[in-house]
Amino acid sequence: MAAVLLIVNPFASGVTSRRLSGVVDALGAAGEVETILTAGPGHAIELAAQGTGRDALVVYSGDGGYNEVLNGADGSIPLGFVPGGGTSVLPRALGLPREASAAAAQIADALVAGRRRRIALGRVNGRRFGFNAGIGLDAEAVRRMDVRGRSEDGKRPGDLTFAWTVARMLGERRLRFSDLLEVEGHGRGAFVLVANGDPYTYAGSVPLRLVPGGDFDRGLAFLAPSAVRPRALPALATRAVRGKLAGVRGVLAGSDLDRFTVRCDVPLPLQADGEDLGDVEEAVFEAERDAVDVLV
């Protein structure tokens, strides 16, 4: 029987005691499950670093918890990601179902069968990320969501609130995104979206393939519009949702990259896997190929 360490963020928007019980039962089909609840930001990094010696490390949380585990794990044991957040991009992009116990059952089956997938990770200024990162527009939206805070039960607002936040940002007269940064070797851009996988994110059940070329088996992909002007917004948004921005005049793009640097004219917000990493004037993005085994 396998030894499984289950790290749980009890404050993630989709985590409840009833669902946690279902996840533990499902994982129990593979072996003995030790469950530890995180106590606050950064705790999952510490727990993942201490997870060696088990046969698998599984995290039941939202995207921020997955990111912490990726930054704490040393790659010696396979990882499993159970959807417990409002979006839970990483497990869904890896093909797991949105329902927590169903995803846990597939992870348990993969562990018993020895079914693993080796995937790449991204790094930005040394911080690992699983599916995406960005400077400017999406990072500003992440920051505004954080400012909204959590509900009384500790839950974050969901996808609809995030979409409304982005729409409101783009409609602000005082807010203009012009050429505020340089993607070294590629040109000037207004903001940068960086993908390690596909899709870039989800809006409810709809996958948003904003950055063509994102792939867990390859290097990083990026997309950087040179400017975002009010009159161009409808067409730009439509192309973005359809994943057809690459190749459009005034839009920089690259894929399967091992390393690239972004330099900002002024300090701009940076996010990785939906976590606000503060303002930066320079960001070095790197692909960490064949980084970790995942149970899928």
Instruction: Walk me through the domains of the chain, giving residue ranges and CATH numbers.
Output: 2-114 (3.40.50.10330), 127-290 (2.60.200.40)
131-171 pLDDT tens trace: 999 999 899 989 998 776 655 555 555 555 666 666 666 66
Closest CA to 69 of 91, 47, 38, 54: 47
How far is the C-alpha of 167 from the C-alpha of 152, rounded, in Å?
A: 26
Q: Which two tokens stand for residue 104?
A: 């846990």
Q: Annotate 102-117 with b (16+ C-beta within 10 A) or e (fewer).
A: bbbbbbbebbeeeebe
Q: How far is CA 12 from CA 59, 88, 153, 199, 211, in A?
A: 11, 10, 10, 22, 27
Q: What is the pTM of this model?
A: 0.90
Those residues with Cβ within 8 angstroms of residue 47's Cβ, 6 or more apart along the chain or in another chain: 5, 7, 36, 38, 69, 72
Q: What is the pLDDT of residue 158?
A: 57
Q: What is the pLDDT of residues 241-283, one digit of tens each?
A: 666 666 677 899 999 999 999 999 999 999 999 999 999 999 9
3-state SS, residue 48 = helix
Taking the C-alpha atoms of residue 287 and residue 196, their distance in angstroms, rounded to an integer, is: 8
Q: Tell me how far apart the alpha carbons of residues 65 and 57 are, in angstroms, rounded to a whole number.
A: 13
Strand 31-37 with 2-8, pairing: parallel
DSSP state of 226: S
Distance CA 176, CA 262 (A): 19
Q: What is the pLDDT of residue 60?
A: 98
| Ordered per-residue pLDDT tens for the chain, 296 residues | 899 999 999 999 999 999 999 999 999 999 999 999 999 999 999 999 998 899 999 999 999 999 999 999 999 999 999 999 999 999 999 999 999 999 999 999 999 999 999 999 999 999 999 999 999 989 998 999 877 665 555 555 555 566 666 666 666 654 456 789 999 999 999 999 999 999 999 988 899 999 999 999 999 999 999 877 656 666 666 666 666 666 677 899 999 999 999 999 999 999 999 999 999 999 999 999 999 999 99
